[in-house]
Structure 1
Amino acid sequence: MGALIGFFVRLYTMVFGALERLTNGWFLGLAARFIFAAVLLQYFWNSAKIKIDGSIMNIFTPGAGAYAQILPKMTEAVSYDISQIAFFPYGLIVLLGTWAEFILPALVVLGLFTRFASLGMIVFICVMTYVDVTGHGVDIGILFSTTPDKQIISVRLLWIFLLLVPTLKGPGVVSLDWLFGRSYRRREMYYD
């Protein structure tokens, strides 16, 4: 019996050791970025487009939709007349939040400044969840819930976990970070 168990342990170790060696350094980062692009990129960009009223020309002047999403209670208090909201700090918060929702997902997908962008997206999701609860009154549910309308927190945690992979492991070989890093390393070797 011990020989049979030993055989399966060796087989297991051999198969999964080979799989780990084959995917080391490139697969996890690429897969996480691909899944982020497939599942979340459009979600965040659609949300960002609402903030600029659908026109890239409004990238420096987010509309009432941006204020309503980011500062819901304050925007409602001024009857959605955003000219009554001070630029500093509130307008600046809305402007930077709008830019972050466009720029950070693009950087993650491209694999450029990936660790920074992924960490930024994690912070963005945490802030978004906080605003959903405190500003919009959303019931984000509870962990381990089997009721679909009580699973928002579980979904957001999956998003965060997905972004933890490139934050901790990097973007992988198929990325602009790797390409620029390779170019930099070659240049450094040339000058040494």
Structure 2
Amino acid sequence: MGVLIGFFVRLYSMVFGALERLTDGWFLGLAARFIFASVLFQFFWNSALTKIGGNIMNIFTPTAGAYAQMLPKLMEQVGYDTSQIAFFPYGLMVLLGTWGEFVLPVLVVLGLFTRFASLGMIVFIIVMSYVDIYGHGVDAKTIGALFDGEPYAVISDDRLLWIFVLLVPALKGPGVVSLDWLLGRYYRKREMYY
């Protein structure tokens, strides 16, 4: 019996060791970025477009809808009149949040400054979840709970998976198929000659 168990342990180690060696350095980062691009990129891009009225020329002047999405309680206090909201800090927060929703997903997908962009997106998702829960007052079913056996809650379940997908490139890097890798290769070659 011990010989049979030993055989299966060696077989297991051989198969998964080979798989790990074959995918090391390129697969996880690329797969995470591909999943992000196919599942979340369009979501964030469309959300960002609503903040500028669908017109990229409004990138410096977010709409009242952007303020209502990011600062719902403050907008309610001022009667949805953005002229009553101070630029610093609130207008600046809305402007930077809008830019972040455009720029960070593009950087993740391209694999450019990927670790920084992935961490930025994780923070963005955490802030977005906080605003949804406390600012917009979403219901308990939408919030959900971990370990509840119901995988359909938008906040606790979906966003935890979103964060995990972004943790992979944040911790492991974007992989070989990325602009980060190409830039790193270029600079490593330059340093060899100087």
TM-score, normalised on structure 2?
0.96
Name the residue aligned to 1:81. 81
CA spacing shift, 1:15–1:132, aligned 2, 3 Å: same
Q: Deviations over 1:97-129 (max 9, x none)?
A: 000000000000000000000000000011111
Query: Aligned in 2, Cα 1:4/1:148: closer, same or farther, shift over 3 Å?
Result: closer
Q: Distance in 2 between matches of 1:100 and 1:17?
A: 39
> What's 2:55 paired with?
55
- 156, 159, 162: which one aligns with 1:153: 156
Return the offset for 1:148: 5.7
- Asked if 1:182 is matched to 2:185, the reply is yes
The 2-side partners of 1:14 and 1:149 are apart by 38
**Equivalent pairs: percent with the same residue?**
79
Q: Rate the CA distance shift 1:150–1:38 in 2: closer, same or farther, 3 A.
A: closer
Q: Which moved more, 1:74-83 or 1:178-187?
A: 74-83
Who is 2:4 aligned against? Answer: 4
CA contact (8 A) 2:62 2:98 kept: yes
Structure 1 stretches of 5 or more lacking a match? none
Aligned residue in 1 for 2:170: 167
Q: Which residue of 2 aligns with 1:70?
A: 70
* Aligned pairs, number: 191
Shift of residue 150, structure 1, vs aligned partner: 3.7
Q: How has the CA–CA distance of structure 1 residues 174 and 94 changed in structure 2, closer, same or farther, with 3 Å as cutoff? A: same
For structure 2, the residue ranges without an aligned partner over 5 or more in a row are none
CA distances 1:23-72 after superposition (whole Å, capped 9, x unpaired): 00000000000000000001111110110011001100000110011000
Q: CA deviation at 1:145?
A: 2.4
CA contact under 8 A between 1:122 and 1:160: conserved in structure 2? yes
- Give 1:149 shift: 5.5
Question: How much is the aligned-residue C-alpha RMSD, in angstroms?
Answer: 1.1
TM-score by length of 1: 0.96
Provide the rounded CA distance (Å) in 1 between the counterparts of 2:170 and 2:149.
29
Q: Is the 8 A contact 1:72 1:136 kept in 2?
A: yes
